[in-house]
Structure 1
């Protein structure tokens, strides 16, 4: 639905700007830097390119932090949303009902996008994209928003330890016959105890072979290219709970400088603990959202948010962030617009602006920049009209 609403009086400007920055990165599709780097391997673009593409399995670059940041901000928003509903007098039952409806809507949108990107002639029941992952966990985030920080921290610990045990005690399966493993080098497979977290043979992969084949399919489910799994929502729920705790801290009364220090210290601790866990307990793998990855990526997100908070809400420098804010205030619109219409925008632009604009070494960069500009202009118009897409 769309609604004309004012910005909440207690909304921190840095939160909308940071969410907009994350969506800006997503909608840019890396500005096609990877395509330019492939044609100009000696250019500066070849140095930047690794940061705008996911690592094959173990590790982290900027591009891997987009989804954790987006999910983290869902938790932050849930803290504000629940508080505002309580202030209006809504009951627990009403808040949870709204959360349940939103969860279902997000999951169905996720399935729609998964189906739209494939050639199957029927619904493709996959739950690995960001909307479906948020939808599955969102109800539990709202439910836990009614508890205190100790309970929320205990829930995060229980999720991470329990999910680690699930993988650690599971006997890895064999790689499915004919599996497409062209996206990962043989040298990147893990050995020893860490082999419990290899692609397509881990506990979550085996779960999907059972679970996803319960749905009608054109052919039996075997694997998801890239190793993404449905159960990623479990540890990513911990990411959203980290955001929930952060949102609760930010919305409370207190000196901004103290809150900034809290963000910096929490970010540094999560980053350090996640890094050490990635060396000793389980590998840092975004594609299956390992517990070490949850903490490591959460640490980076906290530090990035701290930078926005320091500059915008503590320092008072807001004007520069308006281009990001207009995206952040309509993040669902931008996300859906990118997923559903980016191809149409590229084709239409080429038709009316001339094919020659989208040829040569910088063709992909021109195409993806065009898509981003169009989506930003639409988001800006909606922002000026005070119209925001909400679920």
Structure 2
């Protein structure tokens, strides 16, 4: 789990390498085009490697829960104490998410669509599901996805006179859907309507009209579904079944998730959209999460190829620390390099490669900080 989490957090931190600038410098290079695509979120429907960061992080929260419950039960902690801890953890994650999003704002920036806030909003419900039977958990999972899909479908789809330009969406945008899928169009759906009410209840510099990327608060509901998939995977890991059977379960679950998500999209029932975390996205991304967990488990725990994972474990065991470092001091590190070393040293391969080299240097500093913390057993836990 720590290696998988470290892989995910490294992908997140690697945004600082800015592959898109190299793609702009070398527009005919398929290599930089490929890396840029997988370091960016798709415009609406579909998936890139970068789009799997948040679902993987959420999935792993679920995987860890059975271990956490077992550990606290072994310490004779009551259900009430454990649930109180879950509520505190939830509140801290929500507030930390708001704090990190507000660091460059003139006042507190109240939105709840980021990874930490989304997990925090759903975590108490995940904890309660952790005490239910697998059958009840699967029923809850199905209920979450169906209820979320139905709520979107029952909300009126945008009509022909809907002003998309007012919500930062071009009228000729190729991601506009018709039929049932139209209920999931960008900034004209249930989640957008909810946020135009809910987010304006908080103090704001200006009235909230839309999220530029189409992200939404209500995504925490299906994100709970992603965490529930992780919860089931965590239970399988703790069951003590043979490695062969465990890998088989993970691979089958992954195949079912991927096929179901694609089928819903192709059938015109529900698009695979991360930004509003559609039910099809829960299934599709959940399928990838099962397969990635199977991959890491097979290599590390079964084949025993473990030495290469050290750097990932260092990052994965301090996921909250790297998340905060990337959001708080990336600019400080880069400007400090320029202040003391200038630009020349980072242009050794040519000016187009300067963003890549300065990004690699910043990543190196992040890792050294985490390595120092790891060796001194300093781990930030919430």
What TM-score comes out, normalization by structure 2 length? 0.95
Partner of 1:371: 362
Q: Aligned in 2, Cα 1:50/1:30: closer, same or farther, shift over 3 Å?
A: farther
- In the alignment, the residues of structure 2 paired with residue 155 and residue 178 of structure 1 have an alpha-carbon distance, to the nearest angstrom, of 37
What is the Cα deviation at residue 335 of structure 1? 0.4
**Does the alignment pair 1:31 with 2:32?**
no
- In the alignment, the residues of structure 2 paired with residue 141 and residue 373 of structure 1 have an alpha-carbon distance, to the nearest angstrom, of 35
- In the alignment, the residues of structure 1 paired with residue 282 and residue 126 of structure 2 have an alpha-carbon distance, to the nearest angstrom, of 16
Q: Aligned in 2, Cα 1:176/1:117: closer, same or farther, shift over 3 Å?
A: farther
Partner of 1:136: 121
Partner of 1:356: 344
Partner of 1:6: none
The size of the alignment, in residue pairs, is 374
What is the Cα deviation at residue 192 of structure 1? 2.8
Partner of 1:221: 208
**Does the alignment pair 1:286 with 2:286?**
no
Partner of 2:102: 115
Q: Aligned in 2, Cα 1:273/1:361: closer, same or farther, shift over 3 Å?
A: same
Choose the corresponding residue for 1:323, options 299, 305, 311.
311
SS of match in other structure, 1:248: helix
Partner of 1:336: 324
Partner of 1:149: 134
Gaps of 5+ in 1: 1-14
Q: What CA deviation, in whole Å up to 9, does each residue of 1:135-177 have, x standing for no partner?
A: 1011111111111111111111000000000011110353466
- In the alignment, the residues of structure 2 paired with residue 25 and residue 177 of structure 1 have an alpha-carbon distance, to the nearest angstrom, of 33
Q: Judge conservation of contact 1:176–1:222 (CA < 8 Å) in 2.
A: no
Q: Judge conservation of contact 2:169–2:186 (CA < 8 Å) in 1.
A: no
Q: Judge conservation of contact 2:175–2:185 (CA < 8 Å) in 1.
A: no
Choose the corresponding residue for 2:373, options 378, 382, 385.
382
What is the Cα deviation at residue 357 of structure 1? 3.3
Partner of 2:112: 127
Deviation beyond 4 Å, 4+ runs, structure 1: none
SS of match in other structure, 2:206: coil
Partner of 1:260: 247
What is the Cα deviation at residue 364 of structure 1? 1.8
Q: What CA deviation, in whole Å up to 9, does each residue of 1:292-338 have, x standing for no partner?
A: 01000000111011110000001111001111000000000000000
Q: Aligned in 2, Cα 1:379/1:21: closer, same or farther, shift over 3 Å?
A: same
Q: What CA deviation, in whole Å up to 9, does each residue of 1:150-208 have, x standing for no partner?
A: 111111100000000001111035346633337x9612222232111011100010011
Q: Judge conservation of contact 2:97–2:112 (CA < 8 Å) in 1.
A: yes
Gaps of 5+ in 2: none
Q: Judge conservation of contact 1:65–1:297 (CA < 8 Å) in 2.
A: yes
- In the alignment, the residues of structure 2 paired with residue 259 and residue 179 of structure 1 have an alpha-carbon distance, to the nearest angstrom, of 46
Q: Judge conservation of contact 1:175–1:200 (CA < 8 Å) in 2.
A: no
**Does the alignment pair 1:300 with 2:288?**
yes
Tell which deviates more after alignment, 314-323 or 354-363. Answer: 354-363
What TM-score comes out, normalization by structure 1 length? 0.93
- In the alignment, the residues of structure 2 paired with residue 263 and residue 179 of structure 1 have an alpha-carbon distance, to the nearest angstrom, of 40
Q: Judge conservation of contact 1:73–1:243 (CA < 8 Å) in 2.
A: yes
RCO comparison, higher one (Cα < 8 Å, 6+): 1
- In the alignment, the residues of structure 1 paired with residue 194 and residue 147 of structure 2 have an alpha-carbon distance, to the nearest angstrom, of 16
What is the Cα deviation at residue 31 of structure 1? 2.4
Q: Aligned in 2, Cα 1:205/1:169: closer, same or farther, shift over 3 Å?
A: same
What is the Cα deviation at residue 82 of structure 1? 1.1
Partner of 2:157: 172
Q: Judge conservation of contact 1:175–1:201 (CA < 8 Å) in 2.
A: no
What is the Cα deviation at residue 384 of structure 1? 1.0
